[in-house]
Amino acid sequence: MEKVKKALNDYPAVRWGILILVGFVLFVNYYFYDAFSTLKVHLQNEFDLSNSDYGLFVAFYSIPNTFLAMAVVGGIILDKLGIRRTGFAFIFSMALGAFITAYGASKIYSNGGFGYEFMQSFLPGYSPELKMMLLGRFFYGLGAETSIVVISKILVKWFKGRNLALAFGLKVGFGRMGTFAALLISPRLADGGLQINTAIWFAAVLVAAGLLAFVVYMLYDTKLNKQIKPDVKKASPPFKFSDIGKIIMHPAYLYIALLCVTFYSAVFPFMAFAPDFFLNKFNMSDVQSGNITSILPLGTMIFTPIFGFLIDRYGKAATAMIIGSSTLLAVHLVFALTSIPPYLPMFFLGVAFSLVPAAMWPSMVKLVDEKQIGTAYGLMYSIQNLGLWGFPLLAGILLDKTNPGNPEVLNYTPTMLMFAMLGLLGFVFAMLLRREDRKSGYGVDLPMNK
């Protein structure tokens, strides 16, 4: 009897190896994004930045994905040109942006290096260092969000019907591991602000290593495509731009997208300010506040794969989004209105930040055709980036407006209430999603392996 030849994605060891490989790309992506949160005070002292300037720096990451819709464009490019070409181009942009950011913060640049005079010639209200770092942040953000879309499509390609929610949970875990490492390593490398350049350059070099890891993945992807090419042609009709309208008009997709933007806007911008919040409210050092902030990604590393496994087997994804959103709301209200030590609230924030992503991202395969999956994820990330652009800016402005005269201890209560309001909106959208799922029968609450 003739033996049926297996494709690469039929071998569990190869699938999980691929997850580790692309998970490293996600790890370095999140490391670089979060490496600056514990450096806020040092950046302000080094480059004379206000809270609003720091908020602008955090927000600049999202400009290409918000105003140029690059995550959407990247998703369309991904569906048209495939994983390898799209992934390499955007991860290269991510690495380029990381090095430009590090260069802008370096002594070589501030001592009159290439581009310094040009950056000094316009917008005198902003330092040349900040302007160069903003340029780097722009290119980094342009590549980073689409790289996440690429990794999402990679997981669908290799894991669909085979523990997809668990794979997405582990994917989220790799990202949180990058955040966890950044919060622990970055302040120690900075050494109280004396070695801030070392901390930033280390983060940039890690992103370059991520680009090399993706080049290795491309070799496996090429081999897999040769094995499954006939099936792909038969199952995946060509993408059409009219598909975007179909995705947007899908009510369950819209509720997930709105949950995504409100939920993530209550977490990522908060993370960018959290070490400074703990420093001001609880009088902690940058290392101590980084340690406490790292409880969140540590919790998500542990719980997201567990929740992904449970959703694969037992379902209840929509219910998990409701529980996660309500937990997020409760935690931000505790931070805003009480003086409870932050350790336990950060643990529960980590649980919330495990539940929602573990349920939300794999649920997309029940709402969107596979030929549209890159575009659907791209749209989600662009909508998400609207919040990741606006709310760091608003948080910085709120801090400056509610703390006139640069007091020694900042009052964070209005800013935390803003994050709590976002948690409330996320809870509402999660409830609407479950209602729509029950009415229309999409199966969001059913096990992922069915």
Exposure b/e, 265-289, CB count within 10 A at least 16 = b: bbbbbbbbbbbbbbbbbeebebbeb
Tell me which residue has tokens 């993945």: 217
Q: Is residue 31 part of a domain?
A: yes
pLDDT, tens digit, for every residue of 409-437?
889 999 999 999 999 999 999 999 999 98
pLDDT, tens digit, for every residue of 183-197?
889 989 988 878 899
- SS3 string, 222-289, reads HHHHHHHHHHHHHHCCCCCCHHHHHHHCCHHHHHHHHHHHHHHHCCHHHHHHHHHHHHHHHCCCHHHH
Dihedral sign (CA 378, 271, 323, 302): positive
CATH number of residue 272's parent domain: 1.20.1250.20
pLDDT, tens digit, for every residue of 11-57?
888 889 999 999 999 999 999 998 998 888 888 888 888 888 988 99
> For 7, which DSSP code?
P
The tokens of 52 are what?
A: 């609003």
pLDDT of residue 5: 66
Q: Is residue 107 part of a domain?
A: yes
Terminal CA-CA length for the chain: 31
pLDDT of residue 232: 44
Summarize the confidence of residues 149-176 as an average pLDDT.
83
pLDDT, tens digit, for every residue of 100-133?
999 999 989 989 999 999 999 988 888 899 999 9
- CA–chain centroid gap for 213, Å, is 19
The tokens of 385 are what?
A: 């980036």
Q: Is residue 446 part of a domain?
A: no
pLDDT of residue 140: 95
Considering the chain, what percentage of its residues have pLDDT values greater than 90?
Answer: 38
Q: Is residue 3 part of a domain?
A: no
pLDDT of residue 2: 44
- Tally the residues of the chain: 450
What pLDDT band is residue 367 in, cutting at 50, 70 and 90?
A: confident
Mean model confidence pLDDT for the chain: 86
CB atoms within 10 A of CB 444: 28
Q: Is residue 435 part of a domain?
A: yes
pLDDT, tens digit, for every residue of 238-275?
556 666 777 778 888 889 999 999 999 999 889 888 88
Asked whether the beta carbons of 160 and 169 are under 8 A apart, the reply is no
Strands (E), 348-427: none
CB atoms within 10 A of CB 334: 18
Pairwise CA distance, residues 437 & 432, whole Å: 9
Summarize the confidence of residues 62-72 as an average pLDDT.
78
Pairwise CA distance, residues 175 & 190, whole Å: 22
CB atoms within 10 A of CB 201: 19
pLDDT of residue 138: 94
Three-state SS at 385: helix
Pairwise CA distance, residues 153 & 372, whole Å: 10
- The residue among 153, 151, 155, 132 whose CA lies nearest residue 143 is 151
**How many structural domains comprise the chain?**
1
Considering the chain, what percentage of its residues have pLDDT values greater than 70?
Answer: 94
User: Is 229 a residue whose pLDDT tops 70?
Assistant: no
Q: Is residue 311 part of a domain?
A: yes
pLDDT of residue 231: 47
Dihedral sign (CA 142, 380, 12, 181): positive
- Lowest model confidence (mean pLDDT) among 83-92, 270-279, 319-328: 270-279
- The residue among 372, 101, 123, 407 whose CA lies nearest residue 247 is 372
Q: Is residue 202 part of a domain?
A: yes
* Cα dihedral 68, 139, 81, 243 in deg (nearest 10): -20
Three-state SS at 48: coil
pLDDT of residue 243: 67
Pairwise CA distance, residues 91 & 86, whole Å: 9
User: Is 233 a residue whose pLDDT tops 50?
Assistant: no
Range of the domain at 90: 13-225+239-440
Asked whether the beta carbons of 42 and 200 are under 8 A apart, the reply is no
53 or 169, greater pLDDT: 53
The tokens of 408 are what?
A: 């020694």
- The letter for the amino acid at 346 is M
Tell me which residue has tokens 């602000």: 193
pLDDT of residue 239: 56
User: Is 450 a residue whose pLDDT tops 60?
Assistant: no
* Cα dihedral 428, 326, 61, 290 in deg (nearest 10): 170
Asked whether the beta carbons of 223 and 85 are under 8 A apart, the reply is no
